Amino acid sequence: MAEAHQAVAFQFTVTPDGVDFRLSREALKHIYLSGINSWKKRLIRIKNGILRGVYPGSPTSWLVVVMATVGFSYCKVDISLGLVCCIQRYLPERCGPYQTPQTRALLSMAIFSTGVWVTGIFLFRQTLKLLLSYHGWMFEMHGKTSRFTKIWAICVRLLSSQRPMLYSFQTSLPKLPVPSVPATIHRYLESVRPLLEDKEYYRMETLAKEFQDKTAPRLQKYLILKSWWATNYVSDWWEEYVYLRGRSPLMVNSNYYVMDLVLIKNTDVQAARLGNAVHAMIMYRRKLDREDIKPVMALGIVPMCCYQMERMFNTTRIPGKETDVLQHLAESRHVAVYHKGRFFKVWLYEGSRLLKPRDLELQFQRILDDPSPPQPGEEKLAALTAGGRVEWAQARQTFFSSGKNKASLDAIERAAFFVALDEESHCYSPDDEASLSLYGKALLHGNCYNRWFDKSFTLISFKNGVLGLNTEHAWADAPVIGHLWEFVLGTDTFHLGYTETGHCMGEPNLMLAPPQRLQWDIPKQCQAVIDSSYQVAKVLADDVELYCFQFLPFGKGLIKKCRTSPDAFVQIALQLAHFRDKGKFCLTYEASMTRMFREGRTETVRSCTSESTAFVQAMMKGSHMKADLQDLFRKASEKHQNMYRLAMTGAGIDRHLFCLYLVSKYLGVSSPFLAEVLSEPWRLSTSQIPQSQIHMFDPNQHPKHLAAGGGFGPVADDGYGVSYMIAGENTIFFHVSSKFSSSETNAQRFGNHIRQALLDIADLFQVPKANN
């Protein structure tokens, strides 16, 4: 087979005359080029590490300082105030290359200049960290910026104006602060007040007071100690205990999906679309490795933490009996592909050269044309990643720890990412409302065995050329994968392009070795475990009701005319919709980011507030004047925006209580208050999907280049999961999930309530709406 000849550099046979070696020059050439490529990457990482370590300094700035020192010295001006002479006295007199007085003087000035340069870098970073610790700008009214904030913004711009690399600001970001216990308890009680009857609230207030006075001070000391020692006092525990220690299936419960552009199609050729997308992803990975990606900046001036991007590629979640681990490799030169029950390994490089889109299209088309059947047990093998984590860990140890099974599993787990070639077609048709929901269901769980749910992400390609992602959650949050996805879609459409027949540009290299089929030896016992995991996953997938829709009457543009933030507008509409749906309020989770701090991830905004419930109740009564309703809405909106800002600036509620709870468990301290808080169900879990993180095109010139965002499964069995993307000025996409098994929920019914709530709130402000 052709791939076998590529796999070895030489062959030998034993003859009567001795051993006959037959060298493969082509194979040796590929090995040599691969080695050269690996060394290039090492050198790039070393160079980037140095440049990142001295930012905003650079070799050029160091040379300028040295030349200035030498220049002043020749002009008989000692800017070192005697330090150069002091350094010169301590240099050995009669050894090495600095025996002459001139050489000793130059070396002393170089040492002094280096010290000045390093000191300048240190002072710059500390000054920038101090400036970035100021968050008052977030709490100022739009258009009413204070003079202090304007001066602060100028200083930040000046200190961050040098062309930064991706991770240049990491060490300048402040640490996430630990809130005070009284402040957290106060905000917690305020958040549950609209949800509890008086008697129940007073009981909770008593528990909170007892915790604050007796247990919390000891726990807080340990937490403050951790915040001094660790880079972030939350993130490592959040990753371990919320994600990696979870024993329930990843599918639906943890993984989330991302959709393609839904209003345009670049090509109907499945292999061609995939060729462009995979090529764009590896281009992005190359930029990531070289740190050529611009840091994400809030308002264009405040840097966001980018550490989550490090594990975007070459990462797999490895199952364990008690806890999983994230395996991240520095390099991977292939992707793993699934098609019709078979697994393949596709090389991304030929020697040191990245395969062009047309070559990748050829490789994927070869897989599509391959008529070979699956091996016994191979077709539903990936169901192991969709079922329980303990069962998968046991099966992995028992059946995949040696031989060809281990080699093939390694090929999947060590891949850059996973690719699923589906045989069905999905797309969004505005005339068929159900089409978007079916598309979302296919991305969320597929048929339960055609996604490798452990990989950092699975790139899904449908038969009609439509793409999507299924993403594992432990390694990063949605904005990070969204950054990659925007780059891929923009590169595919505006840079790579297609021929008139829908194929990738260029001519394919027909001499490329075909994709390598992975080999398995799966015994009957393992097949039984696979089938058991599949049955668990199928019950879970069949129970998910997903309703996705495009809200067309208006978007961000007209919401702003209400003089409120679009996010607050949608969140208050969700409260109104939920009350109409269930006749009661519930604890509501909205995810916000804490990436203004080093290694920050997320914080919870408790969107159900006393102000929002007052507005909803007034709307339900129907007897209030429009002016009164507007006033109640504005109060609810201002409250929500303030809570969101507090969460983003490290003054949230839930991450602090979560960490206090973990400390109590480590110390063996019982806290009825923390136990009750951490067991409260989130019956409405929401998230806004970011967009336009990368400005690769003008949305005004290309209004149809819209992705529909993505979604996730319901967090509570009797609750809803809602994600939404405010897609430009004129539309909003919603993804609503629930479970069929709950008699209290219905995703489509709730979606219709959301529609009506948005329209009713817009009517309060007499906002004109577009026709459906």
Q: 60-69, 412-421, 442-451 — which is least confidently predicted? A: 60-69
Rounded CA-CA distance 512/234 in Å is 48
Rounded CA-CA distance 142/153 in Å is 15
Instruction: Evaluate whether 384 touches 392 at the Cβ level (below 8 Å).
Output: yes
Rounded CA-CA distance 420/403 in Å is 25
pLDDT tens-place string over residues 515-525 = 999 999 999 99
Q: 156-165, 241-250, 311-320, 598-607 — which is least confidently predicted? A: 156-165
Work out the average pLDDT over 332-347.
Answer: 96
Rounded CA-CA distance 356/100 in Å is 58
pLDDT tens-place string over residues 468-513 = 999 999 999 999 999 999 999 999 999 999 999 999 999 999 999 9
Q: How many CB atoms lie within 10 A of CB 169?
A: 27
The beta strands (E) that lie in 552-587 are given as none
On the question of pLDDT at 323 being above 90, the answer is yes
Confidence of residue 7 (pLDDT cuts 50, 70, 90): very low
* HSE-up of residue 227 (Cα within 13 Å, Cβ side): 20
Q: What is the pLDDT of residue 97?
A: 57
Is the pTM higher than 0.75? The answer reads: yes
Confidence of residue 194 (pLDDT cuts 50, 70, 90): very high
Q: What is the pLDDT of residue 35?
A: 67
On the question of pLDDT at 567 being above 90, the answer is yes
Rounded CA-CA distance 460/613 in Å is 41
Q: What is the pLDDT of residue 173?
A: 94
Confidence of residue 93 (pLDDT cuts 50, 70, 90): low
Q: Residue type at 424? A: E
Q: What is the pLDDT of residue 1?
A: 36
Helices (H), 193-304: 198-210, 216-229, 235-237, 270-290
Q: Which residues pair with residue 57 across a beta bridge?
A: none
Q: What is the pLDDT of residue 95?
A: 54
Q: Which domains does the chain have, with CATH numbers?
A: 56-159 (no CATH), 179-234+650-680 (1.10.275.20), 247-294+304-544 (3.30.559.70), 552-649+682-767 (3.30.559.10)
Q: What is the pLDDT of residue 29?
A: 63
And the tokens for 240?
């371990």
Instruction: Evaluate whether 222 touches 228 at the Cβ level (below 8 Å).
Output: no
Report the number of secondary-structure helices (H) and strands (E) in the chain.
Answer: 24, 22
Residue with more model confidence, 158 or 222: 222
- Matching residue, tokens 């394919």: 508
pLDDT tens-place string over residues 64-82 = 888 888 887 778 777 877 7
On the question of pLDDT at 58 being above 80, the answer is no
On the question of pLDDT at 770 being above 70, the answer is no
Element (H, E) at 116: helix 101-132
Residue with more model confidence, 698 or 738: 738
Q: 425-439, 535-549, 696-710 — which is least confidently predicted? A: 696-710
Work out the average pLDDT over 694-718.
Answer: 86
Q: What is the pLDDT of residue 206?
A: 96
Percent of the chain with pLDDT over 90: 70
Alpha carbon of residue 169 to chain centroid: 19
Collect all residues with Cβ–Cβ distance below 8 Å to 519 and sequence separation of at least 6.
375, 404, 407, 408
Task: Tell me the torsion sign for CA atoms 259, 261, 266, 267.
Answer: positive
Using CA atoms, how far residue 35 sits from 32, 40, 59, 289, 589, in Å, is 5, 9, 28, 17, 49
Q: What is the pLDDT of residue 596?
A: 95
Q: 103-107, 659-663, 727-731 — which is least confidently predicted? A: 103-107
Alpha carbon of residue 223 to chain centroid: 26
And the tokens for 152?
């602060």
Q: What's the whole-number average pLDDT of the chain?
A: 89
Q: Which residues pair with residue 547 across a beta bridge?
A: 736
On the question of pLDDT at 771 being above 60, the answer is no
Element (H, E) at 456: none
Q: Which residues pair with residue 736 across a beta bridge?
A: 547, 722
Work out the average pLDDT over 439-466.
Answer: 97
Q: Which of 685, 726, 686, 695 is nearest to 709 (CA)?
A: 726
Catalytic residues: 473
On the question of pLDDT at 52 being above 50, the answer is yes
Work out the average pLDDT over 117-141.
Answer: 88
Work out the average pLDDT over 228-248.
Answer: 94
On the question of pLDDT at 754 being above 60, the answer is yes
On the question of pLDDT at 405 being above 70, the answer is yes
On the question of pLDDT at 134 being above 70, the answer is yes
Q: What is the pLDDT of residue 10?
A: 43
Q: 19-23, 188-192, 210-214 — which is least confidently predicted? A: 19-23
Q: Which of 313, 314, 450 is nearest to 379 (CA)?
A: 450
On the question of pLDDT at 20 being above 60, the answer is no
**Angle formed by the axes of helices 747-764 and 566-582, nearest 10°:** 130
